[in-house]
Structure 1
Amino acid sequence: MSSGLSDIKSICSKSVYIQQHSQYQDNVSKVTTTVKGQPRYTMASVEELRLAGLFCDAVLKVQDFEFPVHKIIMCECSPYFEALFLRWSSPSQRVYNIPGVAPVMMERIIKFAYTGSVPVALDNVLGLMVVADQFEVREIVQTCSHVLEEQLCPENCISIWQFTRTFSFSELHSKVHHYILDRFEEVVSSEQLLQLGVHEFAHFLDRDDLILRTERIVYEGIMKWIANDPNQRKEHLCYLMSKIRLCLMGLPDIMMNVLSNDLVKSDSRCLAMVTKASRILRYLIKNYGDDIVSNPFARPRLPNAILLAIGGFREGHPINSIEAYDIRANRWSKLTAPAEPPRRSHGTAFLNGYIYYIGGYNRDEIFNSVRRFNPTMNVFEEVAPMHSPRTHVSVTVLNGLIFALGGFDGEWRLRSAEHYQPESNQWTLIAPMSERRSDASSTVLHEKVMLDDRIFVVGGFDGFCTIRFVECFDPTLNLWSDVHDLHVSRHTVSCCVIYGLPNMDFYTFNRDSLPFIQKEGDRKREEQRV
């Protein structure tokens, strides 16, 4: 394993990361906290006494340096020093040897104890975090952890992960571990991959929650890792190749890339394993087609997103069941919510890790209530209700707000619209739409009905007929504007936004067919020339 403070410092200190985080101006982020129970001007006065050596009752000796301090101040800052002065030594002891600490780091800890402030720079964050943890100064540890988390990227995450594991920073270690799993394709493309030891590498490759588009990424990562030191690392080829879900690569990839690889062909155990996987894949294709099965070579990894189907209408009754679709396993899982009332024709939104059920009805009542589901904890809670009951409501998310647009309140199709702010747990009415409508389209999935930070509402039903009117909302102006009508009236319609197409002109209106507008003076001059 290649780890150590010097390696990580060189990675964390690169100017590119400093530029990406402008809050660390001049490579320094000020950590400021106040010593409990002490006003700041008093602490400044005590710091002056320390610097003058007045009334100090202890000396911390670090190598050849001596730091006079006041015991009460150090005890207030750190449980370590409280134990050192009160339990691990006699009351009369004055000089204390502090081993394993650099004088500059000891000075920073003392400075923090007296002033409640310490500079944290990218070139000292690792050493400061270790020393602060040794002396149990949690405020500094937490802030150093935050700085490292902010600097985390594919070019330093392995080094930071190894650092956190070596020094047992469990909370940060877990966050970095998840980062590597989620961004593994980018990590494979970086030089950080080469720092992993074989068992560290295998640990990540073995995980079901390793996020990949294709198993070929794993194969290429293994070859890159071995090529960095082939004489020492090629003996681990079979061990690492066993972590690939080979049957998920596809026969052409196995035959053309894996079995033809010189390293694979020269390793009899590895060759036999890959050959066996190719035979299993042929059998699976012949007998199971595209279906997913349970086999070590074909075990699907976990997806990084799921599709939820929530509530609805079945056999004449609204239901409360939830189903989750796993795209990697091609299976639906049934989730139960027995305490939740059945709903149909409601809106759903996903925001800040929560799923919101908005409005809808259960045959007896049209809801203005909103339920919030925490998928991490698997619990529901009630949040603030809307101003109006709404079923067949259009819901979407923009700029951290949930918008509920139109719908049916039991008597009328609605023009009114409102948005919900999770931080304040409040619904706020916004400008009403031009048209009454329910059953319009306003899809939530990744804000895909939003263009230029505007919300588009398409079609719907006004209580008498299906409409083809389209309008858009500008949240900065709180203003609805008419958009060109659809060619065909539609309700219960679905819309989405597509982008980045190479043939975008195929889906857009012919520019040459747009009305040609000419100023009156230009038109007359052109007629005179003719």
Structure 2
Amino acid sequence: MSEDMSVYNELRLRKQLCDAVIRVDGVEFHVHKVILCSCSPYFRALFSHWSTPDCQIYDIHGVTAELMKVIVEFAYTGFVPVTQDNAQELFTAADRFNIMGILEACGDFIEQELSPQNCIGIWLFAETYYYPGLREKAFLFTLNHFEEVVATSEEFLSLPTEHLYEIVQSDQLSVKQEETVYEAILKWIAFAPEERKEYVCVLLSNVRLALISPKYIIKNVIENEFVKSSPEYRATVLETLNLIVDHMSKNFSKSLLCHSFARPRLPSSILLAVGGWTDGSPTNIIEAYDPRTDLWIRMDYPEHIRRAYHGAVFLNKSVYCVGGFDSVERFSTVHRFDLATHTWHEVSPMHSSRCFVSVTVMDEYIYAMGGYNGHSRLETAERYEPRSNQWTLIASMHEQRSDASSATLQNRVYICGGFNGRQCLSTAECYNPNTDQWTLITSMNSMRSGVGVIAYANRIFAVGGFDGSRRLATAEAYSPSTNTWDTVLSMKIPRSNFGISVIDDCLFVVGGYNGSTTASEVEYYDEKTNGWSDASNMEISRSALSCCVVHGLSTMANNAVLPFFHFPQMLDEEEEEMEA
């Protein structure tokens, strides 16, 4: 609160120089008209157009005295106490009085409170009061958590038809299996079958049948009572089933791929595996992984430079490849891949050539630390600002580190392990951008070069690596609050120089070197179950790759992303069954 406003508020509390009284349910608020006018067009109109100049007492109905007290105090202090108990009621009052500051504070609070149980109610609430920003966020939350919404939300069963249609027709709807969409629609219809069965065709027509196995369609769709009640939709199901069978017998045209029933849902996030070392040389291959379908899709870009021992990060709708090695040159160059246009651009180079570099993102900056320039291991570090296209040197680390790994947590950059030219390291340190200082933290329990480091479940995980004699499967996690490392369940296979990322609330490790060969195997750790599980292998085995997760695909051009998520391959045993 400014000094001037502090004076006005003190005058209000003393009821001095006040020129109006707001009266709500018998409670009087002595105010200065000019202060309320400054925060609300409603009060400006009330004082200047809807009353006579000599009017001093204003009776306001339809709002509680408690809420009016909050509104008046906000006008004088700029502070509003938003809680779970008052958020929606306060939002409604602020909408009536057109107080943008309170609307924004309530909107931000409600957004933070979004859950699968309340997102539909918040979506409809924001639509009623025409608050498009909050409406869009609640809608996207519903799309991204659809399976849990259907399973746990009482609001789902009361969803208006047009809103359910908006959900199921969206390419952004996030489901692991398309059957979930079909079953959700049936659940909604069955809640009030007499009044809702007329919507069978219009809703079920948005189910991407070609993404569902023929066995499921035959068993659960064709003979369903609601499907049979809609001859039009049942005919569509049979036609689609015939096209799928033709595809599986290899006697089909490309028409199915263009059919709306075959268009894949757009994932909210995908994991990219970029570059690396395979078959004795660096590669430029990028593979994209969709955790919903457990599928890897190869993305070929001939113009992309072959590189290994580099860093790849995602920032502002672009993937940046930083430093690395092409078997001849250690790079200082940085290339940016624009996911909306599928084009590569070279940006400003780093101050140093860096292969075996550690790269991470924090506060809209890309950090590049350590590495090897062909002559020595580096302790220097620098950061890149995309807006100015400029790299700036920051404080050097305490240790020379190549083949380390880094992550960000709670506004700090953490770097762990690596190789200093003489030995593998167990040391770790963190960087504070506010002071431009590195601080050594407790060392890891193991020396780890070629380690994978990632922020996950509010801790820093250090996974795998090379301890100077063998590749490791072990993992450990650092808690900043206690400055301690705790042992975590080991991976299924040992590996170093692999990709590591967090997607779908799981920690993924991708490829790497197991001590004898490069690997294509992928596994993931789920903290909730404290277990490692296998995911689909990459198409190629490689080490020295870098992984990053691309978020917000829904805000990019669909036609720039969807081509990589093709019509899914049917299981061999299902093909044999259908052909038989």
**TM-score strictly above 0.5:** yes
Q: Residues 311 and 165 (structure 1 numbering): CA distance in 2 closer, same or farther, change over 3 Å?
A: same
Q: Verify: 1:92 aligned to 2:100, yes or no.
A: no
Q: 1:305 aligns with which of 264, 269, 273?
A: 269
Aligned residue for 2:171, secondary structure, equals coil
Q: 1:454 aligns with which of 432, 457, 462?
A: 462
Q: 1:149 aligns with which of 111, 121, 124?
A: 111
RMSD of Structure 2 on Structure 1 (CA): 5.1
Give the CA deviation at 1:153: 0.9
Give the CA deviation at 1:326: 7.0
Aligned residue for 1:121, secondary structure, equals coil
Give the CA deviation at 1:147: 2.1
Q: Verify: 1:113 aligned to 2:98, yes or no.
A: no
Determine if contact 2:322/2:334 at 8 Å carries over to the other structure.
Answer: yes
Q: Residues 419 and 78 (structure 1 numbering): CA distance in 2 closer, same or farther, change over 3 Å?
A: farther
Indicate the residue corresponding to 1:416 in structure 2.
401
Indicate the residue corresponding to 1:525 in structure 2.
none
Larger proportion of strand: 2
Q: Verify: 1:250 aligned to 2:250, yes or no.
A: no
Give the CA deviation at 1:93: 3.5
Give the CA deviation at 1:155: 0.9
Unaligned runs of 5+ in 1: 1-33, 461-466, 506-530
Correspondences of 1:169-180 after superposition (within 5 Å): 169-180=131-142
Indicate the residue corresponding to 2:565 in structure 1.
none
Give the CA deviation at 1:252: 0.9
Indicate the residue corresponding to 1:45 in structure 2.
10
Q: Verify: 1:203 aligned to 2:188, yes or no.
A: no
Determine if contact 2:289/2:297 at 8 Å carries over to the other structure.
Answer: yes
Give the CA deviation at 1:154: 0.9
1:48 alignment partner AA: L
Indicate the residue corresponding to 2:245 in structure 1.
282
Q: Deviations along 1:331-382, whole A, 9 cap, x unmatched?
A: 655679x8xx946224234467774433214688523566677858999797
Give the CA deviation at 1:259: 1.6
Q: Distance in 2 between matches of 1:281 and 1:300?
A: 15
Determine if contact 2:358/2:371 at 8 Å carries over to the other structure.
Answer: no
Give the CA deviation at 1:37: 4.9
Give the CA deviation at 1:183: 0.6
Q: Verify: 1:229 aligned to 2:192, yes or no.
A: yes
The worse-fitting range, judged by mean Cα deviation, of 98-107 and 403-412 is: 403-412
Determine if contact 1:347/1:357 at 8 Å carries over to the other structure.
Answer: yes
Give the CA deviation at 1:229: 0.9
Indicate the residue corresponding to 1:30 in structure 2.
none
2:12 alignment partner AA: E
Determine if contact 2:323/2:353 at 8 Å carries over to the other structure.
Answer: yes
Q: Verify: 1:185 aligned to 2:170, yes or no.
A: no
Q: Residues 290 and 225 (structure 1 numbering): CA distance in 2 closer, same or farther, change over 3 Å?
A: farther
Q: Distance in 2 between matches of 1:330 and 1:426?
A: 32
Q: Residues 469 and 250 (structure 1 numbering): CA distance in 2 closer, same or farther, change over 3 Å?
A: closer
Give the CA deviation at 1:98: 3.9
Q: Distance in 2 between matches of 1:122 and 1:422?
A: 31
Give the CA deviation at 1:165: 0.6
Q: In terms of Rg, which structure is larger?
A: 1
Indicate the residue corresponding to 2:36 in structure 1.
74
Determine if contact 1:43/1:115 at 8 Å carries over to the other structure.
Answer: no
1:245 alignment partner AA: R
2:190 alignment partner AA: A
Indicate the residue corresponding to 1:164 in structure 2.
126
The worse-fitting range, judged by mean Cα deviation, of 189-198 and 77-86 is: 77-86
2:322 alignment partner AA: I
Determine if contact 2:452/2:464 at 8 Å carries over to the other structure.
Answer: no
Q: Distance in 1 between matches of 2:300 and 2:455?
A: 24
Q: Deviations along 1:446-486, whole A, 9 cap, x unmatched?
A: 979xx9833432389xxxxxx7465988867799x9x9x99
Larger proportion of helix: 1
Q: Distance in 2 between matches of 1:207 and 1:488?
A: 42
Q: Verify: 1:135 aligned to 2:97, yes or no.
A: yes
Determine if contact 2:452/2:463 at 8 Å carries over to the other structure.
Answer: no
Q: Distance in 2 between matches of 1:137 and 1:224?
A: 41
Aligned residue for 2:262, secondary structure, equals coil
Give the CA deviation at 1:211: 0.6
- Whose relative contact order is higher, 1 or 2, with alpha carbons under 8 Å and at least 6 apart? 2
Determine if contact 1:397/1:447 at 8 Å carries over to the other structure.
Answer: no
Determine if contact 2:417/2:449 at 8 Å carries over to the other structure.
Answer: no
Q: Distance in 2 between matches of 1:255 and 1:247?
A: 13
Q: Distance in 1 between matches of 2:270 and 2:175?
A: 15
The worse-fitting range, judged by mean Cα deviation, of 178-187 and 66-75 is: 66-75
TM-score for the superposition, normalised by structure 2: 0.62
Give the CA deviation at 1:248: 1.5
Determine if contact 1:369/1:385 at 8 Å carries over to the other structure.
Answer: yes
Q: Residues 120 and 256 (structure 1 numbering): CA distance in 2 closer, same or farther, change over 3 Å?
A: same
Q: Distance in 2 between matches of 1:218 and 1:235?
A: 18
Q: Residues 93 and 321 (structure 1 numbering): CA distance in 2 closer, same or farther, change over 3 Å?
A: farther
Fraction of identical pairs, as percent = 33
Q: Deviations along 1:132-162, whole A, 9 cap, x unmatched?
A: 1332333322221222122211111111100
Aligned residue for 2:82, secondary structure, equals strand
Give the CA deviation at 1:429: 7.6
Determine if contact 1:57/1:71 at 8 Å carries over to the other structure.
Answer: yes
TM-score for the superposition, normalised by structure 1: 0.67
Determine if contact 1:238/1:269 at 8 Å carries over to the other structure.
Answer: yes
Correspondences of 1:389-408 after superposition (within 5 Å): 389-391=353-355, 393=356, 395=358, 408=372
Q: 2:323 aligns with which of 335, 340, 359?
A: 359
Unaligned runs of 5+ in 2: 379-399, 425-447, 496-512, 534-580
Q: Residues 383 and 139 (structure 1 numbering): CA distance in 2 closer, same or farther, change over 3 Å?
A: farther
The worse-fitting range, judged by mean Cα deviation, of 168-177 and 116-125 is: 116-125
Correspondences of 1:416-455 after superposition (within 5 Å): 416-417=401-402, 433=419, 441-442=450-451, 453-455=461-463
Q: Verify: 1:58 aligned to 2:20, yes or no.
A: yes
2:401 alignment partner AA: S
